[in-house]
Amino acid sequence: MASFTALFMNPVFLCNNNIRRFPRHTPNARTRLRPITAKLAEKTSLQYRKLGDSDLEISEITLGTMTFGQQNTEKEAHEILSYSFDHGINILDTAELYPIPPSKETQGRTDLYIGSWLKSQPRDKVILATKVCGYSERSTCVRDNAKVLRVDAANIRESVEKSLQRLGTDYIDLLQIHWPDRYVPLFGEFFYDYSKWRPSVPFVEQLRAFQELIDEGKVRYIGVSNETSYGVMEFVHAAKVEGLPKIVSIQNNYSLLVRCHFEIDLVEVCHPNNCNIGLLAYSPLSGGALSGKYLDLDSEAAKKGRLNLFPGYMARYKDSLAREATEKYIEMGRKHGLTPVQLALGFARDRPFMTSSIIGATSVDQLKEDIDAFLTTERPLPPEVMADIETIFKRYKDPAIL
What are the residue numbers of the active site? 98
- Rounded Cα–Cα distance for residues 333 and 256 (Å): 12
- Rounded Cα–Cα distance for residues 233 and 211 (Å): 18
User: ∠ at Cα 271 (270, 276), nearest 5°?
Assistant: 65
- Tell me, letter by letter, the H, E, C secondary structure of 161-200: HHHHHHHCCCCEEEEEECCCCCCCCCECECCCCHHHCCCC
Long-range contacts of 202-207 (CB under 8 A, 24+ apart): 203/231, 203/234, 203/235, 203/237, 203/238, 204/238, 204/242, 204/244, 205/152, 205/153, 206/151, 206/152, 206/156, 206/177, 206/181, 206/235, 207/235, 207/238, 207/239, 207/242, 207/244, 207/245
- For residue 125, give the H/E element and its range: none
Q: What share of the chain is helix, strand, coil (3-state, %, to 5)?
A: 40, 15, 45
